[in-house]
């Protein structure tokens, strides 16, 4: 795989080496073989990137909305043409399976198609005024420059999810991808938009590490919005820094989704949805179902069917088209997750399924008899580990589902849609799906979480709301009379 052309910084429309002395090695997630090397970006490179975005944005904001739309339409065509190359990159760098790569590319194409509509949907308003002969015009303007920090799990899509609407609403962008996925989360996007004809400097990509730049990407005076997708711990820090510097933050953070199976559910269908909800991309998705809550009367039958299906999932090389469970992003993640499983078993959880972890290849784990409120039931499990929890009543299911600091996604399976809606409305989460999976993202539906799962919403009109600002201009068409205007002046 040739990726040398993508192993550079993309700043001001120029592909160049970073100014740092340190080298970042980008490795194949499964084999560990080196894919590319980056000379990391320094604070000076960050300065250049933000300066380029700020300069280019002034001209971009004035570009006709229909001309803006054309760029995104061309970007869709570029992704379609480069689909095989992009899939190969996702498999190698991210450790995603062929199915995951196809799924992620499809999400990106939908995101770009939706972004193409945004320039034509930005609207202002005219309001009446209590002042005679005056009208109030409220414009919706771009904020200027947006800083985007993307994660390692769905880097191509989750970078594009912020980058495309930020550009479409008239902003300049600087992206800092995760150090484990600098190409699929960063320079690949630069390459696509360059080919699509985006004006030079409007989108910039800096590949670096936090020990090199610290918080400089966040504290830099240029960006007015910081959009981050990742862990709650890091998101909390970014939100605090943003607030101190009077910047807006959009935070899409961790999750601990509950998948609720009622006693009147279609069990076979619920099993299929639960397997997809937990084990897609090895469970490394913020919306993944960490907890499966099953009503006691059908718990044994559900567990039997579920464990049998999970045990049959092929584990191995993500380059093999038959593989469903590929590697975690690195061995550190595997070690942390394995320790959580050990602790849960020591605390009384029963192992219904568990294989041997080899490096960062982590076979599925199913833990039964998990107590609601236990540590493993309240924490995010970013990997192919799932807990089974039994409940008796709908109210108990809701209480268990809400017993977590997170509130991102969820699912309810029942043949009674009124019952499903009642449960769904009672769960404290930004998104929840009746008779479907916990993993869902559609380009026009607001996406985001409650509690410590994040702040803000993206997709569709929500992206316009988040990535623009309002400006009030009043116009007096007459001659207003002010207080004290008719006072005579002593001569």
Q: Is the pLDDT of residue 151 over 90?
A: yes
Q: Judging by DSSP bridges, how do beta strands 225-229 and 145-149 pair with one another? A: parallel
Distance between CA 329 and CA 331 in Å, rounded?
7
Confidence of residue 490 (pLDDT cuts 50, 70, 90): low
Confidence of residue 484 (pLDDT cuts 50, 70, 90): confident
Q: Judging by DSSP bridges, how do beta strands 9-11 and 23-27 pair with one another? A: unpaired
Q: Is the pLDDT of residue 302 over 70?
A: yes
Distance between CA 455 and CA 472 in Å, rounded?
25
Q: How many CA atoms lie within 13 A of 136 on its CB side?
A: 10
Phi-psi bin for 484: left (phi > 0), alpha (psi -120 to 50), beta?
A: left
Q: What is the pLDDT of residues 84-106, one digit of tens each?
A: 999 999 999 999 999 999 999 99
Distance between CA 325 and CA 311 in Å, rounded?
11
pLDDT for the residue 2? 74
Residue percentage of the chain with pLDDT more than 90 = 96
Residue 262 is a catalytic residue: no
Q: What is the pLDDT of residues 37-82, one digit of tens each?
A: 999 999 999 999 999 999 999 999 999 999 999 999 999 999 999 9
Map residue 266 onto helix, strand or coil.
Answer: coil
| Domain spans of the chain, in order of start | 4-253+453-474, 257-434
Taking alpha carbons only, the member of 193, 196, 137, 146 closest to residue 169 is 146
pLDDT for the residue 1? 65
List the catalytic residue out of 104, 286, 390, 466: 286
List the catalytic residue out of 104, 114, 179, 252: 252
Residue 252 is a catalytic residue: yes
Distance between CA 52 and CA 44 in Å, rounded?
12
Distance between CA 184 and CA 33 in Å, rounded?
17
CATH of the domain spanning 257-434, picked from 3.20.20.70, 3.90.550.10, 1.10.10.60, 3.40.309.10 = 3.40.309.10
> Which of the residue ranges 38-42, 229-233, 321-325, 483-487 would you say has the lowest mean pLDDT?
483-487
- Mean pLDDT confidence for 446-466: 97
Structure tokens at 251: 């935070």
Distance between CA 133 and CA 26 in Å, rounded?
63
Q: What is the pLDDT of residues 303-350, one digit of tens each?
A: 999 999 999 999 999 999 999 999 999 999 999 999 999 999 999 999
pLDDT for the residue 491? 55
CB neighbour list of residue 383: distance below 8 Å, 6 or more residues apart? 282, 283, 284, 328, 333, 334, 337, 362
Structure tokens at 353: 């399924």
Confidence of residue 422 (pLDDT cuts 50, 70, 90): very high
- Mean pLDDT confidence for 197-220: 98
Mean of the per-residue pLDDT values for the chain?
96
Q: What is the pLDDT of residues 244-285, one digit of tens each?
A: 999 999 999 999 999 999 999 999 999 999 999 999 999 999
Confidence of residue 483 (pLDDT cuts 50, 70, 90): confident
- Mean pLDDT confidence for 206-229: 98
Question: Would 4-253+453-474 and 257-434 be classified into the same CATH topology?
Answer: no
pLDDT for the residue 169? 98
* DSSP result, 81-134: HTHHHHHHHIIIII---HHHHHHHHHHHHHHHHHHHHGGGT---EEEE-SSTTE
CATH of the domain spanning 4-253+453-474, picked from 3.40.605.10, 3.40.50.11740, 3.40.50.300, 3.40.50.720 = 3.40.605.10
Q: What is the pLDDT of residues 360-400, one digit of tens each?
A: 999 999 999 999 989 999 989 999 999 999 999 999 999 99
How would you label 327-349 residue by residue, b for 16+ Cβ within 10 Å and e otherwise?
A: bbbbbebbeebbebbeebeeeeb
């Amino acid at each position: 795989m040739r990726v040398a052309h993508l192993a550079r910084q993309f700043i001001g429309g120029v592909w160049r080496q970073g100014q740092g002395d340190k080298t970042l090695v980008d490795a194949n997630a499964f084999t560990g073989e080196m894919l590319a090397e980056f000379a990391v970006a320094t604070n000076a490179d960050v300065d250049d990137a933000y300066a380029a975005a700020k300069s280019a944005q002034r001209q971009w904001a004035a570009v006709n909305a229909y001309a803006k739309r054309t760029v995104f339409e061309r970007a869709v065509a570029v992704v379609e043409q480069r689909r095989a190359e992009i899939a190969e990159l996702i498999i190698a760098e991210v450790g995603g399976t062929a199915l995951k790569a196809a799924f992620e590319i499809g999400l990106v194409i939908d995101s770009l198609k939706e972004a193409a509509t945004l320039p034509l949907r930005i609207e202002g308003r005219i309001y009446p005024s209590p002042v005679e002969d005056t009208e109030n015009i409220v414009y919706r303007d771009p904020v200027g420059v947006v800083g985007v920090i993307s994660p390692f799990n769905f880097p191509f899509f989750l970078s594009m999810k912020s980058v495309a609407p930020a550009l479409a609403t008239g902003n300049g962008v600087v992206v800092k991808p995760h150090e484990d996925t600098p190409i699929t989360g960063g320079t690949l996007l630069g390459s696509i938009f360059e080919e699509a004809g985006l004006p030079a400097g409007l989108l910039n990509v800096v590949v670096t590490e936090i020990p090199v730049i610290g918080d400089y990407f966040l504290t830099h005076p240029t960006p007015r919005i910081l959009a981050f997708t990742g862990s709650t711990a890091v998101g909390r820090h970014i939100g605090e820094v943003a607030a101190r510097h009077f910047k807006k933050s959009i935070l899409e953070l961790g999750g601990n989704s509950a998948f609720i199976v009622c006693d009147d559910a279609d069990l076979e269908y619920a099993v299929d949805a639960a397997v997809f909800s937990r084990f897609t991309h090895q469970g490394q998705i913020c919306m993944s179902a960490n907890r499966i809550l099953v009503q006691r009367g059908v718990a044994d039958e559900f567990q039997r069917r579920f464990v049998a299906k999970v045990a049959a999932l092929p584990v191995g090389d993500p380059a093999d088209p038959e593989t469903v469970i590929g590697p975690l992003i690195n061995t550190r993640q595997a070690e942390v997750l394995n320790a959580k499983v050990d602790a849960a078993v020591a605390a009384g959880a029963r192992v219904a399924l568990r294989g041997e972890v080899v490096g960062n290849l982590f076979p599925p784990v199913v833990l039964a008899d998990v107590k609601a409120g236990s540590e493993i039931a309240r924490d995010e499990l970013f990997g192919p580990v799932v807990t089974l929890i039994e409940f008796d009543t709908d109210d108990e299911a809701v209480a268990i589902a809400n017993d977590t600091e997170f509130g991102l996604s969820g699912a309810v399976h029942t043949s009674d849609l009124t019952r499903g809606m009642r449960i769904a409305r009672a769960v404290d989460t930004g998104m929840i799906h009746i008779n479907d999976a916990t993993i869902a993202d559609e380009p026009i539906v607001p996406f985001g979480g409650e509690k410590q799962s994040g702040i803000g919403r993206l997709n569709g009109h929500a992206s316009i709301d988040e990535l623009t600002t309002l400006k009030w201009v009043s116009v007096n068409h007459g001659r207003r009379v002010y207080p004290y205007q008719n006072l005579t002046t002593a001569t």
